[in-house]
Amino acid sequence: MRLDKFICKSTNKTRNEAKRSIRFAMVKVDGKIIKSSTFDVQPSQTVTLDGNEISLIGERYIMLHKPEDMICSNIDEVHPSVLNLVNIPRAFELNIAGRLDVDTTGLVLLSDNGQWTHKITSPKRKCSKVYRAILVSDITDDMINELETGVQLHNEPELTLPAKVNMIDKRRIELSIVEGKYHQVKRMLAAVGNKVIELHRLQISDIVLDDDLEEGQWRYLTEQEIACI
């Protein structure tokens, strides 16, 4: 791999910044100063930048507890991106799997392995997601029956796939779905005559949001969690 590309893949530096570091003799390979950006770095070689060893960033898999008023986007828009919370090199290269609305909190999964995140978002995979919803009015047995049978969403040609409903109390439920339609949980509750006033995602597949992970905090997934997708 070219030396300038190696530096970019190992740090937050742009290609121009990497070339500047090389030109100013800040980069060594196996202890020798290298001033050529095109130098071919071998896997067995050690690269240092300004005296600190650097290495290629491997695949990363992250659990994030999304707060309100942040967006699941790779760039800041009206609201800031959740990627601002992840203080690691090249965080902007992470894919966001299973996006949440700006006012929805809870579990978001991030990775730079695009095939892995696609398994979460692909409709064919029917990856389950569990949400806790606080409702504006009492949930009824009829509403639960409709949700668990499938409901007709506005401008959708087919019924939603059956959901699973766990009633915590009359105005709090846990809803498990295997689709990822736009605003789906809110639209499903609206379709049965209710309204969501707070929404929080608890789980994706077998990955459950840690109880002790505060809003805005994140951690790397375990090998077992990665393998369950």
Distance of CA 82 to the CA centre of its chain: 9
Same-domain pairing of 187 and 219: yes
Place of tokens 């789980």: 203
List the catalytic residues: 101
- Does 168 map to a domain? yes
The vertex-214 CA angle with 213 and 220, nearest 5°, equals 40
Q: Looking at residue 90, what is its pLDDT?
A: 87
Final residue in a domain of this structure, among 12, 34, 54:
54
User: Stretch 175-180: mean pLDDT, rounded?
Assistant: 96
- Same domain for 87 and 177, yes or no, is yes
Question: Does 129 share its domain with 72?
Answer: yes
* Residue-by-residue DSSP string for 6-34: HHHHHSS--HHHHHHHHHTT-EEETTEE-
Cα separation, 56 vs 75, in Å, equals 23
Q: Are 130 and 33 members of one domain?
A: no
Pairing verdict, β 196-204 and 207-208 = antiparallel
Among 54, 72, 88, the domain-final residue is 54
The answer to whether residues 197 and 92 belong to one domain is yes
* 31-53 pLDDT per residue, tens: 999 999 999 999 899 999 999 99
Same domain, 91 and 175: yes
- pLDDT at residue 190 above 90? yes
pLDDT confidence of residue 215: 98
Residue 66 lies in a domain: yes
Same domain, yes or no: 48 and 75: no
For residue 30, give its domain range: 3-54
**Domain match, 137 and 209 both:** yes
Please identify, among 12, 35, 54, the residue that sits at the C-terminal boundary of a domain. 54
**Could you give the CA distance from residue 144 to residue 34 in angstroms, rounded to a whole number?**
67
Q: What is the mean pLDDT of the chain?
A: 95
24 and 129 housed in the same domain: no
How far is C-alpha 112 from the geometric centre of its chain's CA atoms? Answer: 10
Residues 77 and 185 in one domain: yes
Regarding whether 205 and 110 lie in a shared domain, the answer is: yes
In a domain, 228, yes or no: no
Output the domain CATH number for residue 70. 3.30.2350.10
pLDDT at position 187 over 90: yes
Q: How many domains does the chain have?
A: 2
Spatial distance between the Cα atoms of 222 and 110, rounded to a whole number of angstroms = 13
pLDDT digits (tens, 9 = 90+) for 100-157: 999 999 999 999 999 999 999 998 999 999 999 999 999 999 999 999 999 999 889 9
Residues 76 and 129 in one domain: yes
Please report the pLDDT score of residue 93 as a whole number: 87
Q: Is 75 inside any structural domain? A: yes
In CATH, what number is assigned to the domain containing residue 25? 3.10.290.10
Per-residue pLDDT tens over the stretch 48-98: 999 999 988 889 999 999 999 999 998 888 899 999 999 998 898 899 998
131 phi and psi angles, rounded to 5 deg: -120, 145
